[in-house]
Amino acid sequence: MKRSSVSLFGMFFLTLLFIATSAKAENTLIGTWAFNVNQAPWEYSRGKVIFDLDKENELSGKIIFASGIEVAIDKITQEKDKVVFEVYVEGTPVKTIVTLKDDNITGFVETYEGNMPFSAKREVPEE
């Protein structure tokens, strides 16, 4: 009896691991992206956007600006190749609306100063 419950637990654990891995593999947004917003102030014009899945298998992420400033992404929505994410920079809401195509993201950032072009390229990890 003990052996069968251990086996069932093992199967359950492996199934959960497979589901989590599959969800991550299926979502091409997951990963690190080097971005540019050339019209933004220099400290916010370049950096990395990191998308991942949280414990509930929902999209989460953060932005690390080249200046060293780091902000959490508050909200991410994705419908096929359209992605919208929102952050607060210095207490000000900033919304980014982009299209994902292969290893590139293009679109714009909405700020109180107006819209600014946004582009990003997937970073390929070194092996």
Q: pLDDT tens, 79-108?
A: 999 999 999 999 999 999 999 999 999 999
- Looking at this protein, which amino acid is placed at residue 41? P
- Structural domain spans, the chain: 28-122
Phi, psi of 48 (to 5 degrees): -130, 140
Q: Give the model's pLDDT for residue 26.
A: 63
The half-sphere exposure of 81 on its side-chain side, counting CA atoms within 13 A, is 9
Residue 25 has pLDDT above 50, yes or no: no
pLDDT top residue among 39 and 20: 39
The pair of three-digit structure tokens given for residue 74, joined into one six-digit string: 């508050």
Q: pLDDT tens, 37-76?
A: 999 999 999 999 999 999 999 999 999 999 999 999 999 9
Question: Hey, which CATH number is domain 28-122, 1.20.1050.10, 3.40.190.10, 3.30.465.10, 2.40.128.120?
Answer: 2.40.128.120
3-state secondary structure 9-72: HHHHHHHHHHHHHHHHHHCCCCEEEEEECCCCCHHHCEEEEEEEECCCCCEEEEEEECCCCEEE
Phi, psi of 58 (to 5 degrees): -100, 150
Q: Specify burial of residue 51 (Cβ count, 10 A radius: 0-12, 13-18, 19+).
A: buried
